[in-house]
Structure 1
Amino acid sequence: MRSLTLALVLMCLPVLAQASACELTIDSTDQMRFSEAELTVPSGCETVTLTLTHSGNLPKTAMGHNWVLVETDQLSALAADAIAAGPANQYVPDNDPRVLAATDLIGGGESTSVEFSVAGLQGKDLSFFCSFPGHSALMKGKFIVE
């Protein structure tokens, strides 16, 4: 019985490892920083769940953060359009095809998650950033689908 249980556990390890590799967490702070400058997921992930935490204390009206995924060459233009979208839209333009994924806007002590497909993203030059006004200059990084 023990050998059967061990065999089942060993068979499930690749699935469990793959599942955890498809779940990412990144923190944001009151100092306008993300905890990571680069996030990588294996190409075997069909979907990714990204959790954004805010370890600061300031409210989202003063120091809100979100996480937006975009093709790198679209980052500057999208960041400008995001500011125009305003706080009612979480500083993310509605139905904008440049937005590959985005979390809600959060304040200190809060967290949020987004689940998104990475189909077709392998090999693309991708970046993530915070679209709160003035944050994208410091709060950005690379997103890699291996």
Structure 2
Amino acid sequence: MTILKGLLATAGLAAGLLGTPVLASDDACQLTIESNDQLQFDRDSLSVPASCDSVSLTLEHTGSMPADAMGHNWVLAATADAQALAMDGMRAGPDADYLPEGDDRVIAATEVIGGGESTRITFDTAGLVGRDLTFFCSFPGHFASMQGSFRVQE
């Protein structure tokens, strides 16, 4: 009988919670992604719940090569814009972190970092729910192997 009462209490609590909006925990809105000297991110997809008003993303370069030889950044753009943005970024050069200055196609981007370094950015998720988004590294030659999908999910 005690087990039955416990199950009923748990079911009642769950039913009460179903009508309550669920807010994302701070942890759900904080992401970390690693890059290395082998032209790789450690993930090919990232997502956050739509209840995150903003995302804090940390990029860690676990390799040992310096930024001018094997630098990495993390750039977020609409999938339709990603490849052209990466190509335009190569022309922008290292002083611009391989991104065209003031380009509206860039939703969010970190600076370029080298081995053993990390960087963190925070960006708003307004207008990103359900959009087809891609993250990538815009360092010359890295786009082909260093990209993935990003989702803000309802």
Equivalent AA in structure 2 for residue 43 of structure 1: A
What one-letter code is carried by the residue in structure 2 that aligns with 1:48?
V
Gaps of 5+ in 2: 1-21
Partner of 1:121: 128
Select which of 55, 58, 64 maps to 1:48: 55
Give 1:18-29 correspondences, 5 Å limit. Answer: 18-29=25-36
Confirm or deny that 1:103 pairs with 2:94.
Answer: no
Post-superposition Cα deviations, 1:38-73, rounded to whole Å, max 9, x if no partner, equal: 001000000000000000000000000000000000
Q: Give 1 or 2 for the bigger CA radius of gyration.
A: 2
Deviation, 1:96, is 0.4
In the alignment, structure 1 segments of 5+ residues that lack a partner are 1-13
Partner of 2:99 in structure 1?
92
TM-score, with normalisation over the residues of structure 1? 0.88
**TM-score computed with the length of structure 2 as normaliser:** 0.84
Name segments (4+ residues, structure 1) moved above 4 Å. none
- 1:28-43 aligned at under 5 Å gives the runs 28-43=35-50
Aligned mate of 1:69, from 76, 81, 93 = 76
1:83-113 deviation line (CA, Å, top 9, x unaligned): 0110000111111000000001000000001
Letter in 2 for 1:50: L
User: Is the aligned partner of 1:78 residue 2:92?
Assistant: no
Q: Secondary structure at the match of 2:129?
A: coil
> Considering only aligned residues, what root-mean-square deviation do their CA atoms show, in Å?
1.0
State which of 133, 138, 147 in structure 2 corresponds to 1:140.
147
Alignment counterpart, residue 112 of structure 1, candidates 85, 96, 119: 119
